[in-house]
Structure 1
Amino acid sequence: MKKYAGLFIAGTILILASCMEHKTIQLPAAYTTKTALPDNSIYQAKQQWQNQEGASFNLDTLRGKKTIITMVFTSCGYACPRMVENLKAIEEKLPAAKKDQVRFVLVSFDTEYDTPEVLKAYAQQYQLGTNWTLLNGSAAAVKELAMLLDIRYQQLSSGGFSHNNKKILLDENGVLLYTEDGLDNSEAAILAKL
């Protein structure tokens, strides 16, 4: 009986020792942590946003594709719709191979009115596809992003906003590649940068 007990203990020790053996497992690249953002990345901003689906959103979620970003408000009757149409024209002229490599982001100045529901209706009204993200955030988030993008704005007593009209092209890590100011620019310059 003692002989079997000794064998049992020895076997158990061998099994436990093999279970405790340390093995290094190499994870696929998709499971490793993201590399650090460059110091001049817009995506360093840590403010929280909500997208048109009502989901919480961080700017660093935009990593991995070139991004054309601008700031608008949905109740704007003149400049903002023209900006959206201009961005849609850029999207339409992208070569087919590039269409999935570029995303478009509209950030609202109007923190009160432009709720995710309003942004979703706006996206539907302008037939914005799946590579468009519309964002609503706090007044502090809007102010910080506007400063980072060098977009000047001011709320008017009428409830609207006075603002400059900039289209900003960011690289895959949120670093500024190109800025274009104005409503009547051709798509050629920004398409050349893409």
Structure 2
Amino acid sequence: MKRIYFTFLVCLAILSGCSSTKFEAEHDFEVKAFEYTNHRNEQISLGSLNGTPWLAMFIYTRCSTVCPPMTSNMVDVHTAIEKEGIENYKIVGFSVDPAYDTPEVLSNYLSYYPIENETKWELLTGYEQTEMTQFALQSFNTVVKKLRGSEDVVHDIKYFLVDQNGTVVKSYDGYSQIPTEEIVNDLKSLLQQAKRKS
């Protein structure tokens, strides 16, 4: 009887372990094709990210309220991802103030943060304000709006997880209560699922 009970517990543990790696999408937003300039003055496109899951956020360098904490929190998430030994991922930040945020400005902004593997980061610019407003709405179902007569830009404070096929599958609080462990586990699950399919 004890042996049967022990076998049951082992099976339950195995099943629990399997189910914990199963990723369930909350969104199904197709990211529209783009080709923008990153903070290293390189061209980054949706195609160049194909096959790589990525975390997206909307920020701008003149923001003195939510953007510095969001960027700092993303650095913490990045550190956690690196500690897990995950290699295939990117962090993509779309500037919502592209007229001001040149590649040089974005590069300088990023230099203030303690990032060990900066090659994983792509801070993007090189488009019109109206284009980013449309892109954010069509690709991420979120609002980007420049306030008239002001430097301020209204934007979401979420992080978005985009899978290897360019589909937004989940979003998280990027400002106050960051679910770092959940983000890392979701990223691992996406990569494991892709590996099983290949």
**Both structures adopt the same fold (TM-score exceeding 0.5):** yes
1:67 and 1:163 map into 2 onto residues whose CA distance is 19
2:34 and 2:41 map into 1 onto residues whose CA distance is 16
1:45-56 superposed matches below 5 A = 45-56=32-43
Larger Rg: 1
User: How far 1:142 moved relative to its partner?
Assistant: 0.9
Would the alpha carbon gap of residues 81 and 102 (structure 1) be closer, same or farther in structure 2, given more than 3 Å must change?
A: same
Contact 1:168 1:180 (8 Å CA) reproduced: yes
Tell me what 1:144 maps to: 134
Tell me what 2:159 maps to: 167
1:24-35 superposed matches below 5 A = none
Would the alpha carbon gap of residues 127 and 70 (structure 1) be closer, same or farther in structure 2, given more than 3 Å must change?
A: same
Would the alpha carbon gap of residues 46 and 124 (structure 1) be closer, same or farther in structure 2, given more than 3 Å must change?
A: same
Name the SS for the 2:70 alignment partner: helix
Contact 2:34 2:45 (8 Å CA) reproduced: yes
RMSD: 1.9
Unaligned residue ranges in structure 1 (runs of 5+): 1-38
State how many pairs are aligned.
153
Letter in 2 for 1:180: Y
Letter in 1 for 2:99: E
Would the alpha carbon gap of residues 176 and 47 (structure 1) be closer, same or farther in structure 2, given more than 3 Å must change?
A: closer
1:14-33 superposed matches below 5 A = none
Letter in 2 for 1:154: K
Name the SS for the 1:83 alignment partner: helix
Contact 1:151 1:166 (8 Å CA) reproduced: no
Contact 1:67 1:102 (8 Å CA) reproduced: yes
1:1-194 superposed matches below 5 A = 41-42=30-31, 45-94=32-81, 95-98=83-86, 100-128=87-115, 129-136=118-125, 137-147=127-137, 148-156=139-147, 157-186=149-178, 187-194=180-187
Which shows bigger deviation, 68-77 or 150-159? 150-159
Deviations 1:125-178 (A, max 9, x none): 224411000100222431232111122122122211122211000111111221
- TM-score (ref. length: structure 2): 0.70
Contact 2:144 2:156 (8 Å CA) reproduced: yes
